[in-house]
Structure 1
């Protein structure tokens, strides 16, 4: 008997108000798997994520977690199952990194309750898992962009979700911090989490993803392993520019670069 995927999206239509941004989108995500979503600006990636997270109502189709439709789930239950990691940002208040990570326990608390021993233990475990325990007492607004991004991932992890949805987690990061964040994403999947992330760099999929979904004009234009899905032809159709996909000898991976006229 096959095991039900952690997440299944079936024939999903999504949008804002009366406007349909995308339709007919379907994919599944298993425990321990990373799915990378690629597509140009305005193709519907963020709207799709917000719909899966329950922040926008579905226009059609279904979102299922372990075989159960989430349509009638309370917000708190959905937040305990699917955690969201936004792009790194500078908070307005000088919280410590530990405080930011502890906020990830909000979905586990009763109304007006304060974090208890188990919540603090979960936050400490998340800090350690992301390798940033030494930053716990630092002010979140004063650490680097890469460290803030790792703190946001730790915040999501502290809530003990089964799934992570990550909206361009490497945006605005330098080359080294991009590599560190992608490495942590791969390690989270190895711990059994399901991860879906978006990025503007197709090469990132070769570094951390098991499968790739190509989104164009709100519809899936491809779905499969990176080596099969990310090709010069598919990227040119997706982005409208000529792209070279160059294998890296000895690594079983490739890098992608535009071909300038």
Structure 2
């Protein structure tokens, strides 16, 4: 299962936010998207999912235009983890995760025993089984974020699009989630995620895409793409990148 963007222009109504974005996502790959606030990351994600009409170019899913797939067919293949938001209704965490099974059910059908088992396995994989019967209106933003990720896992799609999945998580849950993302990629899933933390991209990504003012500034291996110069171009600060004693991971820190 592959996802590809070909010379994509995207935005809202009469406002173009980005243009000429071309990239692809392959099975077993983690692609990290970085860019400053307002660079167009969320709009790009919503466009590649078909939630917003593209202004030019094309989104290809497994070699076919995204528009050629029905909504149900897309949902069986692509899962979306939006940024955590306030829950409008007091659904339990388990119910939210079960919503990920919707594409697998017939119209008006109720989740069955297998669906519940899959949802419970997703909860357990993220360490939030203890929240299963808690209303989403009574949990923290970080816990809601984990519930949305569990919902995507329960969907059992082969492509997962994650919009800043670690943004509301504490450090421990961030590290556990990044490790889980690598595990999923090892199982053949294709994952694209956005982040503001270069360390996370260096830790988990196979490739990194840098978005600036709606255009793709760079695309490549993390160590080659995330450099002091490219990060200064994006965020306007001087940084250093290197290794610290006791770890083989590259880390990024402000210079001086």
Matched, 1:176 2:172: yes
**What pairs up with 1:18-167 in 2 under 5 angstroms?**
18-167=14-163
* Residues 247 and 255, structure 1, Cα contact 8 Å, conserved in 2: yes
1:192, 1:146 → 2: CA distance?
Answer: 27
1:258, 1:157 → 2: CA distance?
Answer: 35
1:42, 1:145 → 2: CA distance?
Answer: 22
- Segments of structure 1 that go 5 or more residues without pairing to the other structure are none
1:80, 1:228 → 2: CA distance?
Answer: 34
TM-score by length of 1: 0.91
Structure 1 residue 173 displacement after superposition: 2.5
* Residues 209 and 226, structure 1, Cα contact 8 Å, conserved in 2: yes
2:137, 2:245 → 1: CA distance?
Answer: 40
Structure 1 residue 92 displacement after superposition: 2.8
From 219, 230, 246, the equivalent of 2:226 is 230
Where does residue 220 of structure 1 map in the other structure? 216
* Residues 164 and 196, structure 1, Cα contact 8 Å, conserved in 2: yes
Deviations 1:5-50 (A, max 9, x none): 6111111111111221111111111111110000011111111000
1:69, 1:252 → 2: CA distance?
Answer: 41
SS in 2 for 1:92: coil
Where does residue 250 of structure 2 map in the other structure? 254
* Residues 14 and 57, structure 1, Cα contact 8 Å, conserved in 2: yes
Instruction: Work out the number of aligned pairs and report it.
Output: 256
TM-score by length of 2: 0.92
- Segments of structure 2 that go 5 or more residues without pairing to the other structure are none
1:8, 1:239 → 2: CA distance?
Answer: 27
Cα 1:250–1:27, aligned 2, differ >3 Å: closer, same or farther? farther
* Residues 126 and 177, structure 2, Cα contact 8 Å, conserved in 1: no
